[in-house]
Amino acid sequence: MDITLIILNTIFILSLLALPFVPRKGYAKYIWIALFLLNIGIRVFFINESHRSRGVISDLKEDKKQKELRIKKLESEVNQLTITAPKLLPDGRIAASPFVTMASEFSDGINEARKLFNDGEHDKAYQIAKSLSEKNPKFGLSYFLMGTIEIQRGNYQVGDALLLKSIAFGIPKGDESLAYHNLGISALQQKRFYEAINYLEKCLDINPKMSESEKLLKKLKEAKLKN
């Protein structure tokens, strides 16, 4: 654009210098005038286009600057956000929000393990529970199921440790009462009667309707009184 204006300006100056040599009569005079006016018109057009282009470029620069400011502001707002990860509930379900929960591989897995346990497939149930604990070392129900199976196998100390671990990590109240009941049974098998009483009382504190625990606790207390 600037080169074009330079050329037009050069032609304009040359036309002015050639004016004294243009014949005053004939068509040459009119041709010169027409070319002179055409030159002026072209120059005005290119000058306007040049100004308009500069204005567009200026607007683009301003838009780019405003866009960059908006992006920086958005980045600042994003950095201030707190990312909340879905919480894994004690039963293995995921809390997507305070009011919405959904199934997960943990809830599905532990339900499958429970079914296998109830069907007498203890080894398979144990393997599923163990795999869940490896995926999430803080998933309490996996330790609850493994601990219950270990106690049934007669591995009382191992079972006790797993059940206490499950309670520490958090499990649903119904399972927690069962965990204390199983701890009471384990303590009784190991002849730790006072511990058995303590665990059974904790079981009933959580679930007073545990009739089996209540009967066992009553017998233990009666035996203690007699001794």
Average pLDDT (42-61) is 58
Q: Which two tokens stand for residue 181?
A: 């009941």
pLDDT at 20 over 70: no
160 and 54 in a common domain? no
pLDDT bin (cut points 50, 70, 90) of residue 36 is low
* Number of domains the chain is built from: 2
Provide DSSP, the chain: -HHHHHHHHHHHHHHHHTGGGS-SSSHHHHHHHHHHHHHHHHHHHHHHHHHHHHHHHHHHHHHHHHHHHHHHHHHHHHHTPPP-PPEEPTTS-EEEETTEEE--HHHHHHHHHHHHHHTT-HHHHHHHHHHHHHH-TT-HHHHHHHHHHHHHTT-HHHHHHHHHHHHHH---HHHHHHHHHHHHHHHHHTT-HHHHHHHHHHHHHH-TT-HHHHHHHHHHHHHHHH-
* Predicted confidence (pLDDT) per residue in 181-192, tens digit: 999 999 999 999
Q: Which residues contact 124 (CB under 8 A, 6 or more apart)?
A: 113, 116
* Predicted confidence (pLDDT) per residue in 194-204, tens digit: 999 999 999 99
136 and 74 in a common domain? no
145 and 122 in a common domain? yes
91 and 72 in a common domain? no
222 and 122 in a common domain? yes
160 and 58 in a common domain? no
Its domain, for residue 62, covers 2-79
In this structure, what CATH number is given to the domain that contains residue 105? 1.25.40.10
The pLDDT, as a whole number, for residue 105 is 84
Q: Where is pLDDT greater, at 93 or 17?
A: 93
73 and 92 in a common domain? no
pLDDT bin (cut points 50, 70, 90) of residue 45 is low
Average pLDDT (66-86) is 63
pLDDT at 206 over 80: yes
199 and 139 in a common domain? yes
144 and 99 in a common domain? yes
- The percent of residues in the chain predicted with pLDDT above 90, rounded, is 47
* Predicted confidence (pLDDT) per residue in 5-18, tens digit: 555 556 555 555 55
Average pLDDT (218-227) is 74
94 and 52 in a common domain? no
129 and 203 in a common domain? yes
**Among candidate residues 26, 47, 79, the one where a domain is terminated:** 79
